[in-house]
Structure 1
Amino acid sequence: MRFQQLSELLDYVANCHLDMEKLYKRLDNNADSSRVKMMLDYFQQHQRHTYETLERYIEGAPLRILNTWYKDITFEDFSKRCAETMLPANMDEEAVLELHLDLENRLIALVEKTAMSSPTEEIKNTLMDLVRVTKTQQHRLVLSTLRMDDI
């Protein structure tokens, strides 16, 4: 996937979270463990929330930022990756968390790469703020997931 404007990239990242939500729903339908199902349900909710938050940001962001043009920002077919990802029915919590972190870190890396290619400090800082928020949420999600082990 090739991006030319920041608005395209942000919309793509938002939709990638919907792809992750679909993946977790599919895995949830196939999972044997009730603990894994609980975790996948939590991840689905998190992905929906992240998608909605990004969409609200895009709606309210200044056009001068959203209309920023980039050269050579490319990314894998994330939707395809999510659609083709399979875990066995006996998957455990660690495998699910590992998958989630891998997928989310790919999206974080895309936003970081875009930030480093930004033409202005304002846009770079805006994108790096998004990265920081995402990493903080990721950290909280991991902590919440680890707390599930205590249940």
Structure 2
Amino acid sequence: MSGVFIMRIQQLSELLDFIAKSRLDMKQLYGQLHRNADSTRVKMMLEYLQQHQQHVHDSIENYIDEAPSRMLDTWYKDITFEDFKKRCNESLLPANMTEDDVLELHLDLENRLIALLEKTANSTAVTEIKEALLDLVRVEQTQQKRLVHSALRMDDI
């Protein structure tokens, strides 16, 4: 991973803010892919993914607004993560991309964010915070399963 900027996250509030912003980076990527896509079905899928990213971003922002500051102020020693915005900016697909290409890219990006949440949860000593993060992971995984099922149903249309 030489040459890749590594972000250091020190507080839970920074982590959640980073994940919320990463969802907007994904939304922006899907908008760019949408402009380049040939297929109407791929465009529909990318529109759906853009709306989904905005929804997840808003949900995380609401979570941040409602979470107790003592939780958000929790400090971490060494949580590092790649420059996700850079990854999104460099994740390009050809104009003839398929729904499978888009889904594969989406799952790769989303799984990176879910893994970051899990890694943080597993390095959390405070049970309440660990459980809250693992709940967030479960919500993300459930939404991801629904999204995959919706994408598969699009194939049946």
TM-score, normalised relative to structure 2? 0.95
Amino acid of the structure 1 residue aligned with 2:151: T
Which residue is 2:55 aligned to?
49
Which residue is 1:16 aligned to?
22
Distance in 2 between residues matched to 1:129 and 1:52, nearest whole Å? 17
Amino acid of the structure 2 residue aligned with 1:26: Q
Residue 108 (str. 1) matches residue 114 (str. 2): yes
Deviations 1:53-105 (A, max 9, x none): 00000001011110000011000000000011110000000010000000000
Which residue is 1:86 aligned to?
92
Distance in 2 between residues matched to 1:63 and 1:118, nearest whole Å? 16
Which residue is 2:3 aligned to?
none
Q: 1:146, CA displacement in angstroms? A: 0.7
Q: Secondary structure at the match of 2:156?
A: coil
For this pair of structures, how many residues does the alignment match? 151
Which residue is 1:60 aligned to?
66
TM-score, normalised relative to structure 1? 0.99
Amino acid of the structure 2 residue aligned with 1:85: S
Distance in 2 between residues matched to 1:85 and 1:93, nearest whole Å? 15
Query: Which of 133, 136, 150 is equivalent to 1:130?
Result: 136
Distance in 2 between residues matched to 1:100 and 1:2, nearest whole Å? 24
Unpaired runs of 5+ residues, structure 1, are none
Deviations 1:94-151 (A, max 9, x none): 0100000000000000000000011211111000000000000000000011111111
Report the aligned-residue RMSD. Answer: 0.4
Distance in 2 between residues matched to 1:18 and 1:88, nearest whole Å? 22
Distance in 1 between residues matched to 2:59 and 2:126, nearest whole Å? 24
Amino acid of the structure 2 residue aligned with 1:116: N
Runs of 4+ in 1 over 2 A off after TM superposition: none
